[in-house]
Amino acid sequence: MATIADYEEVLEDHRQLVQELDIALCGDGAAKQASLCDLIAVAEHMRKELDRLRVENIQLKFACGYPMPADLEHFIVPINPFRCGVCDARNEKR
């Protein structure tokens, strides 16, 4: 049967792992006493930012002439971030 000391050891291991994960995710911005709830918010923000950067990367590649990946054609509307309207006017004349 587990003793109080066993539970205290598990709790200390948990706290140490949460702290290490916080440092890995946040670097210098890590909290002195992080909780898993804090880390979930950080991880969700990182995932959303990564998704945004993936879409931006694909859009930039498409704007530079790379073909749109077939599996993403229906999900990502290609937007030319360098669009100023001049090219559109030239294309309309053709």
pLDDT in tens, the chain (94 residues): 889 999 999 999 999 999 999 999 888 888 888 898 889 998 999 999 998 898 888 888 888 888 877 776 665 655 555 555 555 555 565 5
Question: Residue 18 and residue 70: Cα distance in Å, rounded?
Answer: 40
Domain that holds residue 74: 4-93
Task: Please name which of 52, 15, 55, 22 lies closest in space to residue 39, comparing C-alpha atoms.
Answer: 22
The verdict on pTM exceeding 0.85 is no
Q: How many domains does the chain have?
A: 1
- Amino acid code (one letter) for 1: M
